[in-house]
Structure 1
Amino acid sequence: MHIGHHHPEEAENGRVERFKLEAGEQVSLLYPGQIIAYRGEPQGRADRFMTLKGMYRKRKLLQADITGPCEFLTALPHGFYLKTLPIRGNSDLLFEFRNLFFYTPGIHMEHKVLQLKKMIVTRDWMKMKLSGEGLVGILTYGPLYEIELDEREPLFVDARCVVAMPENASLKLCVYGNHLASQHMNYHWSMTGNGVALVQGSLAGPELEKEHRQDGLIKRVLREVIPFGGVFIK
C-alpha cells in the first residue's frame, strides 16, 4: 500500500492524500465521508456500521473497508495532517481514538478507561492501545512530533495537543510556572518515564467533527440509512 500527498502545493487550502492499494491489500477508513475520488471495482468498497464504542467516540455510524486493487483520494481540511505509523507487536502508546483515520488488517484495539479525575479534566473517559502487525493513520491538527520522556525531569504538554502517551509513564494533570502563568493556561500533562509522547503542533480543530457534534443521534442515523440522506438531510 502506498500513501502520499496528491498535490503538496495545496497544503494552504487543505491536503489531499492519495491511497494506492495492490490486489489483496485492504484498509479500513474511519472517515469515509472524506473520500473525494475512487478508481477501482465498485464492490471494492464495503461500508459497515461501527461498533457502539466507535459510534460514540467518532460521533458517526459508518466506516469503509476498501480492498485493492484500487486508488482513492481523501481530502483533509486546512491545518490537518495524516501520519502513517507502523505497529509491530505490543505498542505501549495510548492513543486518542478520534485521531485514528485508518488501519490495516492485523491491528488490534484495546480500550483503556481513564481515572475519574482525568475524565473530568479532559472530558474524555478512555484511551486506545494498539497492537498486532500493520499500519495505522493518525490524523493530527498540525504536524506530529515525537518527544522523548525522562525518568526524572517532567515534560509538560498541553493536554489538548497530546495524541499518544506511554501507558506506563507517570502522568499528572497540572499547571506550571508562577501564579500568573498557572492562572491563564490550560491543564497540562506532567510526564515522566521511558518512551516518547506524540504531540500535534497546533491546538485541535473542530472541522471534521463539527457537524456530528451538533446533530442528534436520530438525524445521524437517518442520514446514514436513507439513500442519499447525506444530501437531503442537513
Structure 2
Amino acid sequence: MIIRMEDAVGSGAGQAVTFSLTDGDTVHILHPEQIVAYRGPSSGRSDRLMNVKGIYRKKKLIRADITGPSQFTAALPVGFSMHEIQLEGEQDMLYDFRHVFFYTQHVTMQTRILKIKNMLVTRDAVKMKFSGKGSIGILTQGPVCKVKLHPTEPLYVDAGSIIAYPEAAKLDLTVYGNHLASQHMNYHWKLTGDGYVLFQAGRQNQRLVNELNDEGIIKRFLREAIPFGGVFIK
C-alpha cells in the first residue's frame, strides 16, 4: 500500500490523501464519508457497522473495508493532517478513537473504557488499543511529538492534545503552576510510567492566530480619538 499526501492549494484549504492498494491489500477507513474518489471494482468496497462498546454503542458508526487493486482519495478537515504510525507486534498504546482515520489488515482493534470522572472532564469515553503488524493513520492538528515518560517525574500534556499513551501509564487530570497559571489553562493529563506518549502540537495555534490578528482595544481607541487616526494608525 502506498499513501500520498496531496498538496493543499491556497491558504485555509484542507488536505487530501490518496491510497494506492495492490492485490491482497486491505485498509479499514473509520471515516468513510471523507472518501471523495474511488477507482477499482465496485466489489472492492464493503461498508459495515462497527461494534464499539461504551458511549459510542448508540451511534451507527460505519467502517469502510477497501481491498486492492484499487485507488481512492479521502479529504481531510481544514487544519488537520494525517500521521501514519507503523505497528510491530504487540503494542500497549491507547489511542483517541475520534482521531483514528484508518488501520490496515493484520491489525486488531480493542476498546478500552475510561473512568467516569475522566469522561466528564474530557468528554471522551473510549480509547482504542491496536496490536499486530501494519499501520494506523491518526488525524492531527500540527506536528506529532513523541516524549518518553518517567516513572516518578510527571509529564503534563494538554488533555485535548494527547494522541496516545501506554495502557499501563498512570494518568490524573489536573492543572499545574501557581494560582494564576492554573486559572487560565485547560485541564492537563499528568502522566508517569514507562514508554512514550504522543501528542499534537498545533491544537492551540488558532487561538494565538486570533490574538495576533486582533487589533486590540488601545489601537482602536487611538484611531478614533486622534484626528486622522484612521489614516496614520493601521
Length-normalised TM-score, structure 1: 0.80
How many percent identity over aligned positions?
49
> How far apart are the structure 2 equivalents of 1:192 and 1:25?
38
Match of 2:31 in 1: 31
User: One-letter code of the match for 1:78?
Assistant: V
Counterpart secondary structure, 2:89: strand
User: One-letter code of the match for 1:14?
Assistant: G
1:1-234 equivalences under 5 Å are: 1-7=1-7, 12-53=12-53, 56=56, 59-203=59-203
> How far apart are the structure 2 equivalents of 1:26 and 1:10?
33
Q: CA deviation at 1:4?
A: 1.3
Q: CA deviation at 1:145?
A: 1.5
User: One-letter code of the match for 2:96?
Assistant: E
> How far apart are the structure 1 equivalents of 2:58 and 2:101?
10
**Does structure 1 retain, via aligned residues, the 8 Å contact 2:49–2:60?**
no
Cα deviations by residue, 1:124-145 (Å, 9 ceiling, x for unpaired): 2332211112211111222222
Cα deviations by residue, 1:146-197 (Å, 9 ceiling, x for unpaired): 1221223211111011111111222211100110111121110111222111
Cα gap change, 1:111 to 1:31, in 2 (>3 Å): same
The structure having more radius of gyration, on CA atoms, is 2
User: One-letter code of the match for 1:156?
Assistant: Y
RMSD: 2.3
Q: CA deviation at 1:76?
A: 0.6
Cα gap change, 1:55 to 1:171, in 2 (>3 Å): closer
Q: CA deviation at 1:107?
A: 1.3
**Does structure 2 retain, via aligned residues, the 8 Å contact 1:27–1:66?**
yes
**Does structure 2 retain, via aligned residues, the 8 Å contact 1:87–1:133?**
yes
Cα gap change, 1:196 to 1:53, in 2 (>3 Å): same
User: One-letter code of the match for 1:108?
Assistant: T
Cα deviations by residue, 1:107-132 (Å, 9 ceiling, x for unpaired): 11222222232222222233221111
**Does structure 1 retain, via aligned residues, the 8 Å contact 2:145–2:199?**
yes
- Structure 1, unmatched stretches of 5+, are 206-234
Farther off after superposition, 112-121 or 15-24:
112-121
**Does structure 2 retain, via aligned residues, the 8 Å contact 1:147–1:198?**
yes
Length-normalised TM-score, structure 2: 0.80
Counterpart secondary structure, 1:137: strand
> How far apart are the structure 2 equivalents of 1:12 and 1:199?
23
> How far apart are the structure 2 equivalents of 1:57 and 1:200?
27
User: One-letter code of the match for 2:103?
Assistant: Y
**Does structure 2 retain, via aligned residues, the 8 Å contact 1:46–1:66?**
yes
User: One-letter code of the match for 1:29?
Assistant: I
Farther off after superposition, 104-113 or 53-62:
53-62
